[in-house]
Amino acid sequence: MAAASGPKPTSPIAIDGPAASGKGTLARRVAEHLGFDWLDTGLLYRAVALSVLDRGLDPIQAATILNLRTLGDPRLRDDAVAQEASRVAAIAGVRAALLAYQRGFAERPPGGRGAVLDGRDVGTVVCPGAPVKLFVTADVAIRAQRRLSELHSRGLATTYSAVLEDLQQRDARDSQRAVAPLRPAEDALVLDTSALDADQALAQAIDLIERKSGGSSGMGSANA
């Protein structure tokens, strides 16, 4: 896949939002569209959580010695790991240990063209100077239905009420924690995906990115 020619696109692009808002899928597709590298920062916290659960490590120790090769472990998508990740992400020492890697990825993306990072605090803490920041959100009832469908597709038995309660608890932890709480950056563009499918969300995100960057110059699709 050849990258688009022309001026280097605006980078990094910071995409934040609550669980099941669609930000991860959107971030991956934005990165593919632009020919950028993508980092799901939440996977770093899930990898720390997995080390805590598997090896009984102290969360800060687990973050300090994190092996990035574990980011491909399919168990990172397990609900128990997600729950533990939400807890360890509230620990200041864990966030500090992972911050340098995230900033390094944003400043020096592996492909050299640009970076898209998604998470809970990319626009507010990791990359506060990012020229383009999106905050992706959706009604919690819709997010719960999306997560329920995802879990069922993976063969996991659960109920809508259980998923809704889980999301509400995670939202409360993420938004109320003392360190790097979940909130839109002051200059973030808010994208509500409640009534959007994945293609519509991508189209609106690219439009917002192009407008924020002053037009489509250099922001063309790598798939064009």
**pLDDT tens per residue across span 139-151:** 999 999 999 999 9
Predicted confidence (pLDDT) at residue 217 exceeds the cutoff of 90? no
**Mean pLDDT, the chain, as a whole number?**
90
Whole-structure pTM value: 0.86
- The 8 Å CB, 24+ separation contacts for 88-93 are 88/45, 88/48, 88/49, 88/52, 88/59, 88/62, 88/63, 89/45, 89/120, 89/174, 89/177, 90/173, 90/177, 90/178, 90/179, 91/59, 91/60, 91/179, 92/178, 92/179, 93/59, 93/60, 93/63
Map out the domains of the chain as residue ranges.
Answer: 13-205
Binned at pLDDT 50, 70 and 90, residue 219 comes out as: very low
CATH annotation of 13-205: 3.40.50.300
| 67-104 pLDDT tens trace | 988 999 999 988 889 889 989 998 999 999 999 999 99
CB 69 within 8 A of CB 44: no
Q: Which helix (H) or strand (E) holds 42?
A: helix 41-55
